Amino acid sequence: MKIEINKETLLDELVLASKFTSSKLSSSTSLQGVYLKGEKNTINFYSTNLNFYYHGVIKTNKTEEFKIVVEPRKITEFLSLLPPGQIALEAKDKSIVLSQGKTKGEFPLFSVTDFPLPKATTPNKHKIDSVFFKKILPLLFFSASSDETRPVLTGVNFVNGEDGGQIVTTDGFRLSLVNLKEKLPLGSMLVPAPFLLEVGRLIGAEKEVFFSFQEEERLLVFYLGDRELQTRLIEGDYPPYEKVIPAEKKTTVVLEREEFLRNVKLVSVFARDFSNIIILETDKGGLKLSPKTGGGDNDVTYQEAEINGDNQKVAFNYKFLVDFLTNISSKKIILELLRSDSPAVFKGEKIDNFLHIIMPVRIQE
């Protein structure tokens, strides 16, 4: 089997499909590869890590029927170094040969029989506004955990109630929460955050995104043009996040976001060599920022702020502050404090339906 194909088209599809392969050395070699299935005028691309599934399609003028599983990383590196234009793809019994002019590369194949193709999807599709992925979910992704030993914390938790919906993420040290007046189109479910992040990246200029949900398989599917992305839902009990949200406050601080972000980064220059902890201290004039280093009083900066309530002294991991300040677009942010050992609430000015919570670090005087 030998076909001609555009190099850029093949490279783009392999790079995308490789994001959904398994990176675990203990997994089957086929799961580390991309399954190519040639049919009439099309080449189908499949990849999976058994939690996420990817299906993409490339149109061709003529394609013989074939089924192969390729290791994508060396192939994509090889293709990226070739000039633009057409290449020849030739599949043999145990290898694939890619050639352009006098340049050739031969790459081994994985077993086709071991590759698990995704389940057939339901024709019943629903749609969701792409603003959901571009404006709402980015407020949540950074608070999800990347620790696979606690799977429920790696997900985005969608909760439908009588008065509307809530979307929440937490890694145990911080929490992001969005309240919606209407019920969620996805329903109540726990969806892997990395999967939704990839869906958002692939939306492009589309105003609406189609999806379906298969209850028996616990499978959520998104349809993006010729591409199809599937994920299994995360099973397990999400922690009772409502208990973390403070019911009262004693101090409110209003700050310019960009200035606060710059000041946090300035103080982090000194904090990151020790504990990554910076201390925020309020007074009538504003906010004092200093690193928790055990050193003197020279490594400090001040920022004017609107302070209402008691003076407070509270410490945070500066990385959590940077994540919040980077992912919110408000000109001003609002910080609500109860005590130095209570969860601190961060909000964006004029964003009424979002709050972020960071657990403080205990300060030993």
What does the DSSP assignment read for 73-120? Answer: HHHHHHHHTSPSSEEEEEE-SSEEEEEETTEEEEEEEE-STT--PPPP
Per residue in 187-200, pLDDT tens?
Answer: 899 999 999 999 99
- Which superfamily does 126-164+181-242 belong to? DNA Polymerase III, subunit A, domain 2 (3.10.150.10)
Name residue, tokens 């790079």: 15
pLDDT at 296: 59
| CATH match for 245-358 among 3.40.50.720, 3.40.140.10, 3.40.50.11030, 3.10.150.10 | 3.10.150.10
Residue 96 has pLDDT above 70, yes or no: yes
pLDDT at 204: 81
Confidence of residue 23 (pLDDT cuts 50, 70, 90): confident
- Where does CATH 3.10.150.10 sit in the chain? 2-110, 126-164+181-242, 245-358
Residue 354 has pLDDT above 80, yes or no: yes
pLDDT at 295: 56
The pLDDT of 99-113, averaged and rounded, is 93
Tell me how crowded residue 55 is: count the other CB atoms within 10 A of its CB: 23
Percent of the chain with pLDDT over 70: 97
Per residue in 197-256, pLDDT tens?
Answer: 999 999 988 889 999 998 888 899 999 988 999 999 999 999 999 999 999 999 999 999
pTM of the model: 0.89
Coil, strand or helix at 271: helix
d(C-alpha 137, C-alpha 254), whole Å = 24
Given this structure, which CATH class describes domain 2-110? alpha beta
What does the DSSP assignment read for 172-219? Answer: SSEEEEEEESSPPTT-SEEEEHHHHHHHHHH-TT-SEEEEEEETTTTE
